[in-house]
Amino acid sequence: MTFREQVRTWLAAHLVGEFAPLVGTGGPGREHEHVGLRTAWEQELGRGGWIGLGWPTEVGGRGASIEDQVAFHEEYAQAGGPARIGHIGEQLAGPTLIAFGSQEQQDRFLPGILAGTELWCQGYSEPGAGSDLAAVRTRAVLQDDGWHVTGQKVWTSLAHLADWCFVIARTEDGSERHRGLSFLLVPMDQPGIEVRPIVQLTGTSEFNEVFFDDALTGADNVVGARGDGWRVAMGLLAFERGISTLGQQVGFTREYDEVLELARRNGTFPDFEDQLVDAWAGLQVLKHQALRTLDSDAAASTGVEANVNKLLWAPWHQQLGELAMAVAGPAALLVDRELTPLQNLFLFTRSDTIYGGSNEVQRNVIAERRWKLPRDRP
């Protein structure tokens, strides 16, 4: 049985029964759905050995090829697997620990991610540090009983569910900008941490602000050298090659099909034919881009693949949301108890071009890293 068939067979056997309600749930605008059951599902995935597919076998991963990882994401999306509640641990915290963590840290934290029993959130952005991450003001001071963390983080996805948070904090007195920051691992369940939901323009909430008021974590919970957190935080970006992209595109295709079908059903197809054809073409290009990026025989890496991918898919997705509204017409302006999937698509895609590095930041990265164009400020 090929790897892809193994994935398909396992999903067909496990995404049923108690987990059947999860099919097609979660994701942007819908992260509140079936939270408890999705946590159980994460553990089911862990028991099946489907977490950490790309991680090296030495740390408990499967060491799967890129091709197999792509197959997993495609099959998972095809089967309507729910949005992962452990993805921040699997895709961000875990790889960071594998690259920069101590043996003790890996032994302590990786098993919980692989088993789906410990969930993570990411403490990067702050009210005064969005695109300019080096402006973080959260401080951590090392005392006899460990690190004392004080500050505020925002846009912290899944913070209300997470067991741990990786936090960028300033630890070195008198340091500035990207020097003197440390990458700390902080337990969420403690009196010094308060999580408040942020209500988004959809009226729902899946991001949070997190207040650290003398929160405590162990002295050994710093990843990499003390004061060298910027390198750890940025190092992760270099590993990102967009393996989940093709799985994401299965979802995009489903959304596109829904818009196309609506246009055919409500008679607006002739009016929007050019846009619908262009959106379809754009989706094919996303696929071509992902396949070429992941193909080891294709031309040498430019180092900005992730940035190019983001600038391709985020505006594409946003425009699909706008097209969905145009196709639906004025009826799309009315809300019947809760948002329809297309209204959700329309509103939520405004965030696609902001989170994970705004489009403007992505452009700067391409200009600097790919072309060595000088910065406009020292």
10 Å Cβ neighbour count for 171?
Answer: 23
Q: Determine the longest span between alpha carbons in the chain, in angstroms.
A: 71
- Residue 138's SS3 state is coil
Among 191, 199, 336, 375, binds another protein (CB under 8 A): 375
274 forms part of the interface with another protein (CB under 8 A): yes
d(CA 67, CA 241): 12
Closer residue to another protein, CB minimum distance, 174 or 374: 374
Phi, psi of 188 (to 5 degrees): -85, -30
Stretch that binds another protein, among 2-10, 48-56, 158-166, 279-287 (CB under 8 A): 279-287
Active-site position among 240, 273, 305, 322: 240
- Nearest approach, Cβ of residue 70 and another protein (Å): 15
Measured from the CB atom, is 12 or 291 closer to another protein? 291
Determine the interface stretch with another protein among 12-20, 31-39, 300-308, 318-326 (rule: CB under 8 A).
Answer: 300-308
Cα 168 to Cα 260: distance, rounded to the nearest angstrom: 43
Q: Is 372 a binder of another protein (CB under 8 A)?
A: yes
39 binds another protein (CB under 8 A): no
How many beta carbons lie within 10 A of that of residue 166, not counting itself? 27
Q: Is 298 in the site for another protein (CB under 8 A)?
A: yes
Nearer to another protein (CB atom), residue 173 or residue 297: 297
Q: Pick the closer one to another protein by CB: 333 or 371.
A: 371
Query: d(Cα 136, Cα 138) in Å, to the nearest integer?
Result: 6
Options 6-14, 211-219, 321-329, 366-374: segment touching another protein (CB under 8 A)? 366-374
Whole-angstrom distance, CA of residue 170 vs CA of residue 5: 48
Q: Which of 129, 304, 324, 345 binds another protein (CB under 8 A)?
A: 304
- To the query of whether residue 240 is one of the catalytic residues in this protein, the response is yes
Residue 196 binding another protein, by CB under 8 A: no
Strands annotated E in 104-246: 120-123, 139-143, 146-153, 164-170, 181-187, 193-198, 207-217, 222-223
DSSP secondary structure, 49-114, as one string: T-SSTTS-GGGT-----HHHHHHHHHHHHHTTPPPPSSHHIIIIIHHHHHHH--HHHHHHHHHHHH
Q: Which of 291, 303, 331, 335 binds another protein (CB under 8 A)?
A: 291
Q: How far is the CB of 361 from another protein (least distance, A)?
A: 10
User: Residue 326 burial (CB < 10 Å; 0-12/13-18/19+)?
Assistant: middle
Tell me: does residue 13 bind another protein (CB under 8 A).
no
Residue type (1 letter), 266 = N
**Smaller CB distance to another protein: residue 93 or 259?**
259
Helices vs strands, H then E, count in the chain? 12, 8
Q: Which of 183, 3, 30, 27 is nearest to 92 (CA)?
A: 183
Among 172, 258, 278, 322, binds another protein (CB under 8 A): 278
Nearer to another protein, 201 or 299 (CB): 299
Binding residue for another protein, selected from 67, 194, 271, 360, defined by CB under 8 A: 360
Distance CA 230, CA 228 (A): 6
Site string for another protein, 306-345 (x = CB under 8 A): --x--xx---------------------------------
Residues with catalytic function: 240
Chain residues that interact with another protein, rule: CB under 8 A = 260, 273-274, 277-278, 280-281, 284-285, 287-289, 291-293, 297-299, 302, 304, 308, 311-312, 360, 362-364, 366-368, 370-376
